[in-house]
Structure 1
């Protein structure tokens, strides 16, 4: 009759489990180290690009808070070796430029650069071009900035039903009335924003042609083309849309250097 030896059979199994567990732990540690190294390298690149973007903004005569740069795509190190990056996101806050002495404010401009070419030497020395195949920008122009450009006391702008709405006090034939209306907003020549207040009225307006003419003249006076400051990265305005927080601006460009070449 054969005698079973369970103790001897279990020891090899336990040793096998320990080896497997140890191997898994080592692989996890190694993977964690590689990920950490990858993120450290991405951080170094982000700081280098941040410095160069700041130089580019200053060069164009614009002002903003320090840019926030994030390099997308994983793993990062393979992108470094290839000299091509999937995506670089740049956030600019409090972007300002001077237009005829009046400030046109962009509280935030988000720039999404795709297929960015930048050699390792460029990132290391900050000499050379960092070029994006496509660049898309989205930002918002405050209604307060637009109202300041129109320079009419008491005039306020906002959004109503997806359109640009205006409210303003007016004096028509000695009567103090409140003008209300909406404007057509389009992209005009050279990227300017075209405001056309074609639909205006005032409660209590005298029912005579002269009163209507005076109201129409006021609407024409505030129907202007608003020139924007030069946007960074050669961005050209493609669309403007009224939103509750302001006029949303969408811009785009192709084959753009996003740094100041050394």
Structure 2
């Protein structure tokens, strides 16, 4: 009995090694195709989720393949994060083993682009900028000095194309380095991210009681007002949603029936 147990444990260990070994082959194949499609300088990281892997490989149907490329350069942005999840990515086992997979068919592809606070800060000229989610109630409030322009559409906070963001950074105010906090609306406009400030708070206790005046306050808010083009989502996915994470602005979209091949990307 003891020998049988030892044999079973060894056999299980070999299967696990084989499983992860096969996964690494598939991950490399996907990584190469994605690097070509996104024109990346380095191979993106690829992880095939789900165990056992071999059952997915034999079926040629991988339930969730996660891709991530860091520090992608697009225009003035140099630290862009590009991510995607391929749900039910289909690649023949023979093509994976032979390294000849020239086409990947995907039932659903979720693409994301992440703009780090350091990139956004350089873009708007606030080098110590921090980014955090803000209360959703901020979406229903008018922009300061511009009543009605920032009001939420029918359904308000359920609109995935808008999100509330808290921006925190230092500005030169009357010769003083003053930290300010701005609540703003992040939204999608023609595939670009727009930041529309709504509320200003002075974080410096020595100055927070001093009235700045409407003109001066608007000039500060204007510095946070911007439109950023982070480039297209991976695999030509159309952006439909935005969200705010700690330290990043995120643009996302979903496409169905995607084919990734040597001739490009097609949907439908």
Fold conserved between structures, TM > 0.5? yes
| Range that drifts further, 43-52 or 217-226 | 217-226
Q: Find the counterpart in structure 1 of residue 108 from structure 2.
A: 134
Q: C-alpha displacement at 1:77, in angstroms?
A: 2.6
Tell me the alpha carbon deviations over residues 79-135 of structure 1, each in whole angstroms, 9 at most, x when there is no partner. 22222111212222222212xxx12522x4443222111123443353432122223
Q: Work out the CA distance in 2 between the residues paired with 1:165 and 1:181.
A: 6
Matched with 2:88 is 115
Q: Is the 8 A contact 2:132 2:248 kept in 1?
A: no
How many aligned positions are there? Answer: 227
Q: Superposition pairs for residues 79-118 of structure 1, below 5 Å?
A: 79-98=56-75, 102-106=76-80, 108-118=81-91
Matches within 5 A, 1:1-262: 20-58=1-39, 63=40, 65-98=42-75, 102-106=76-80, 108-123=81-96, 124-137=98-111, 140-151=114-125, 156-159=128-131, 162=134, 163-169=165-171, 175-176=174-175, 178=178, 180-200=180-200, 203=207, 211-220=213-222, 222-235=224-237, 236=239, 238-243=241-246, 245-258=247-260, 260-261=262-263
- SS at the partner of 1:130? strand
Aligned match of 1:16? none
Q: Give the structure with higher Rg (CA).
A: 1
Q: Aligned pair in 2 of structure 1 residues 146, 161: CA closer, same or farther (>3 Å)?
A: closer
* TM-score (ref. length: structure 1): 0.70
Q: Distance in 1 between matches of 2:37 and 2:182?
A: 38
Aligned-residue CA RMSD (Å): 3.3
The answer to whether the Cα contact below 8 Å between 1:180 and 1:201 also exists between their aligned partners in 2 is yes
What stretches of structure 1 of length at least 5 have no aligned partner?
Answer: 1-19
Distance 1:138 1:181 in 2: 27
Q: Which runs of 5+ in 2 are unaligned?
A: 135-164
Q: Would you say the 8 A contact 2:133–2:244 is kept in 1?
A: no
SS of the equivalent of 1:180 reads strand
Whose helix proportion is higher, 1 or 2?
1
TM-score of the superposed pair, with normalisation by structure 2: 0.68
Q: 1:190 to 1:79 in 2, by over 3 A?
A: same
Give the superposition deviation at 1:258: 4.9
